[in-house]
Chain A
Amino acid sequence: GAVVSQHPSWVICKSGTSVKIECRSLDFQATTMFWYRQFPKQSLMLMATSNEGSKATYEQGVEKDKFLINHASLTLSTLTVTSAHPEDSSFYICSARDSLPRLKETQYFGPGTRLLVL
């Protein structure tokens, strides 16, 4: 099946620093990628939709200036958590949708990035 990678898998940072998370589709092109956040024992909550070559669409309540998304190519989207605080500690997961019409319904998830802000 299609493979999506995320880097880093784990990050610990001090409060006030910025953290960049990369999401890559390894064997397919993805015009659309999605960023989710999951707190312990909760569901995945959509943060934003990332479209290649255009601005991301953020869900209500998600600060676009705090969570910067860049989808610079068909295989890479980045999420930057700026001025991270302890309440931003979470499991961040990206997903990508294959651009091929026959496969576009399926979303493939990356392995996730655990962020701990001290």
Chain B
Amino acid sequence: QQPVQSPQAVILREGEDAVINCSSSKALYSVHWYRQKHGEAPVFLMILLKGGEQKGHEKISASFNEKKQQSSLYLTASQLSYSGTYFCGTEIGGNTPLVFGKGTRLSVIA
């Protein structure tokens, strides 16, 4: 079942923050976050496996709620290089394929 991502698109000025959400109607095994630039393959950002987990670094981090049904990606003090489409990919069990959300198109402008 495809996870729901929101928002569909967001425009930021450099230095602004953004939050991208990914939710599922069922508890998940894991959530993976990727960024894809136009014409390129997705690039792995991070994976979350545990309920209540938060990981990442100061500028780009993510959380996974206790029920393991929702994850959020936090982009802080955005840079031009953050522009791209962000996808969350979810697994319902270990070693199962990722099912991707429809993506969130992020545009950072000067």
Contact = CB atoms under 8 A, between A and B. Distances in A.
Interface in B58-110: 87, 89, 91, 94-95, 97-103
Contacts of B2: 43
Contacts of B34: 109
B41 A111 contact: yes
Interface stretch (B11-19, B20-28, B42-50): B42-50
A44 B47 contact: no
Interface residues of A, number: 21
Given A32-B95, A44-B87, A107 B32 contact: yes
A43 B42 contact: no
A29 B40 CA distance: 24
A43 B34 CA distance: 12
B40 A106 contact: no
A93 B89 CA distance: 14
Interface residues of B, number: 23
Nearest to A108: B44
A65 to B, nearest CB: 21
Interface in A100-118: 104-112
Contacts of B97: 34, 46, 49
Max chain A C-beta neighbours (<10 A), residue from B30, B87, B97, B101: B97
A93 B41 contact: yes
A1 interface: yes
Given A46-B99, A93-B41, 8 more contacts: A34-B98, A43-B87, A44-B87, A44-B89, A46-B97, A95-B98, A107-B32, A107-B44
